[in-house]
Amino acid sequence: MRHATLILTFTESVSLATWRDTGMLAREWALYRELLPHYARIILVTHGHSTDPGILAPLLAPADAHKVHVVCNHDNLPPADYTAAAPARVAALIPADSPTIVKTNQMHGGELALAITNHLRSRNHPTALIARGGYPWSLFVESDKGPKSPEAHRTRAREHALCTAADLVVGTTQEMLDHLVARHALDPARTRLIPNYVDLTSDPTPVQQRDAATLLYAGQLVPRKRVHLLIEALSLLPKALRETTRLDVFGEGAERPSLRNLAEALTVNVTLTPRIPHHDLLARMHTCTIYVQASALEGHPKTVIEAMTTGAPVIAAQAPGLEVIAHNTDGLLVAPTPRALAAAIEDLLTHPRLRSRLGTAAAHTARRRYGLPTIVQLELAAHRDALLQPAAA
């Protein structure tokens, strides 16, 4: 692998500037920082402009800078023209004898990875394509837009083209892989399970060092996330708890005005704050009393896993994707109703020993299953397998 090249194609419209501006740069780069010693070079193919190459530089050790290349849309081409031009630019960076992995960061935007793979193979370059997704893309679009919507039809077609062309399809949960196998008639032997990772840079925070009554949610403010259930649950707490408990919501989305209006109408203590840098969010996870999540559908929820890693007890609604929590073992899974959520919140707020038990177990589970060292080994094994696979039909 040390003579090989790894190419990561970014999600459609996403750039290194996007990662930086959303506070995600260090978290997203962490995996590739650990993979870098195993490769001759890593090439990031982004949808950013001429500033993108300089954004990653502060995170690179001087001895590694020559091994990392950024290909971006520096000429501000229309998306289709950039997809057509990028493969030749990528190929110029790779020696002819370097086995190459092309991997998508998400399936949304896989056309760029397909174009690069096809170009390299046309030059008889040994190339494997990994279609990686962190969440079931087509299911999310069907949930948000409707299964019969034009958006859902286009997404299914794009997902099918990428998955059927790939040498390996990587998903973050077995449920996601089972769905892709059934939907696109894939060979299960060409799939691999690699969960989302957490970078273990700090120890869990015990319950005694946490805020007294602060609930935390971070994520999109869209209907699928059902943040309104959390606000309604707060209003159902006993008066004494309701007056002392605060829900901190960090995120952006179209539902922000309606959520603010709901909190005001129910006279509950809710703060709505735009997305913050990832290291700041982790700091909040280390101090919150409880992390709460009421989503109707998740892939492999990074924020929930990260909250578990910090030792925060988690309350989540019973829904696909939230099975990362084992009920009453390392968190609480409850019915997706305000009353059930309120009962669970009251239970944890009034029983610090229960919070401590669940938080300690959550940290142990998440760190063991999703710690970066574990995921790096799964990644490397998948990359080796992809290079050994016969080309996908």
Q: What is the pLDDT of residues 329-347, one digit of tens each?
A: 999 999 999 999 999 999 9
Choosing among 3.40.640.10, 3.40.50.2000, 1.10.3720.10, 3.30.1060.10, the CATH entry for 5-197+371-388 is 3.40.50.2000
Q: 207-370, which class in CATH?
A: alpha beta
Contact 305, 200 (CB under 8 A): no
CA–CA distance, 391 with 58 (Å, rounded to integer): 37
**Residue 130: strand, helix, or coil:** strand
Residue 393 pLDDT exceeds 80: no
Beta bridge partners of 100: 5, 127
Helix-helix angle 227-235:338-349, to 10 degrees? 60
**Residue 120: strand, helix, or coil:** helix
Amino acid letter for position 98: S
* pTM > 0.85: yes
Q: Which residues contact 9 (CB under 8 A, 6 or more apart)?
A: 45, 102, 103, 104, 105, 109, 110, 112, 113, 116
Contact 8, 379 (CB under 8 A): no
CA–CA distance, 19 with 283 (Å, rounded to integer): 19
Contact 330, 365 (CB under 8 A): yes
pLDDT digits (tens, 9 = 90+) for 350-389: 999 999 999 999 999 999 999 999 999 999 999 999 998 7
Average pLDDT in the 146-171 region? 97
Q: How does residue 391 score in pLDDT terms, banded at 50, 70 and 90? A: low
Please state the domain extents for the chain: 5-197+371-388, 207-370
**For residue 66, what pLDDT is reported?**
93
Residue 302 pLDDT exceeds 70: yes
Per-chain mean pLDDT for the chain: 94
Average pLDDT in the 35-42 region? 96
For residue 183, the Cα-to-chain-centroid distance in whole angstroms is 22
- In eight-state DSSP terms, residue 392 is P
pLDDT digits (tens, 9 = 90+) for 188-224: 999 999 999 988 888 999 999 999 899 999 999 999 9
CA–CA distance, 42 with 365 (Å, rounded to integer): 31
Beta bridge partners of 317: 334
Note whether 5-197+371-388 and 207-370 share their fold: yes
pLDDT digits (tens, 9 = 90+) for 69-86: 999 999 999 999 999 999
